[in-house]
Chains A and B, each alone.
Chain A
Amino acid sequence: MTTSTSHIVFENVSKFYGEVLGVNRVSLALPPGVTSLVGPNGSGKTTLMNLMTGLVRPTQGRVSVLGLTPDEPEEFFRHVGYCTQFDSFPKSVTGFEFINQFLRLRGLSSGEAARLTAEAIERVNMAPAAHRRVAGYSKGMRQRIRLAQAIAHHPTVLVLDEPLNGLDPMARSESIALFEALGKQGMHVVISSHVLHEVDKISDQVVLMSYGYVVAEGQIHGVRSEVKEHPMQILVRCPNPHLLASRLFTQEHVVEAKLNNDGGGVLVRTRDAERFYQLLNRIVVEEDFPLEAVAPNDDDVNSVYQYLIGSGGGTV
């Protein structure tokens, strides 16, 4: 299977709305798994998703999803489901009718469409409200029924624009678990979200966007290690943090070693994480130094977002 038939591919894609830039010169190849699109409002996340699904056409470049384009809608939308951020519905429909009528558009029999509708509604825990009119739903219920509509036909590519908006903590956690499970099944799940710490937990890769440009992309750990301006933060928990701190100060790649507030660890900032880990191994082995835990402290989407976009940016 080639990249073009297994990935979502953007080839030098630009989109302008008149003179307004949507996205500029984007080249990406998104593999299966959960991909988070991260960036501030107006950074081009929704444009990228709309380009992916053919709701807007590129001014320049080419987009393909698993080797398909929206010009062959019968095949393309068999594989693709898109839950947009538009909180709107056809008039006077119930949740069930909403999903069912668009399944019938796929040429399914009424029985098959009803079965898939019920299954999708069950999956987002909306069964009790399925036969009520959507106009009477809460924002969270509307969000869930739109999600159900996007997954009802069992797509292999699921595009979700701010899918956690309006959801209560319980529904949010259920949705995240669902996205994670779908990603693990080998599906492409592309999510844009402002709730960074939540999507961070389930993202296999991240695309950081700012002002229509892709600032960074890849696995979050790889992206973090490429941000050279900001030394890596690593938290080492141990019973003798002051001893460890004094040993670390002698190393030129260690920028800062700060005792943790609870006195049970050291927060280290280093320009070379690999050399730091090697040093730590040596200390533990050669000096029998007791360690409780070692973990990166800013190796997440939120930190990378802050470094690259939130506080004046950086370069990769």
Chain B
Amino acid sequence: MTLVFFAYFSLVSIAAGVLTVALRNPVHCGLALLALLLHVSGLFVLLNAEFLWAVQVVVYAGAILVLYLFVLMLLNLKTEERYFHSTFMYFLAPAMIGSLYVLALLFRSPFGGAKGDAPAAAILQDGDTHAVGIKMFSDYLLQFEIVGVFLLGAIIGAIVLAKTPKPLDVERER
């Protein structure tokens, strides 16, 4: 059963990713990106990460994607005739060769490493949100605060960048 869901989520997310890159109309690309985000959140559920699933749906699909669609509709872009980079054929072959090489490496190497301190049974006992919260506000508290300051800086930067420029005071400059 898990295998069926994994196959569905992974195949649809890959297809949606390819559509995001390949579609012509930017709004269609945004909608394909939405499908990609939702199916990636399905993969998170399969991996016992329910809190990340909720964050993915609420923050990514709900906030970031709406921001993209807002800007797309604000700019009212026309579909361009030549929508690929003029030299894209030069990038295509190296990317294919590189991806095949990486895939061959991935399937050849088995995984065996040291286990951590959070097995699935311990996470499922209190829920993933509890586990993430305990870890976040004990070991990762400093990083959490840094991310908060980073988001504040990003907000201020976005406001300053997108502000309407003041008209120049011509009389005073003379």
Co-assembled chains A and B: no
Question: Which A residues are closer than 8 A to B by beta carbons?
Answer: none
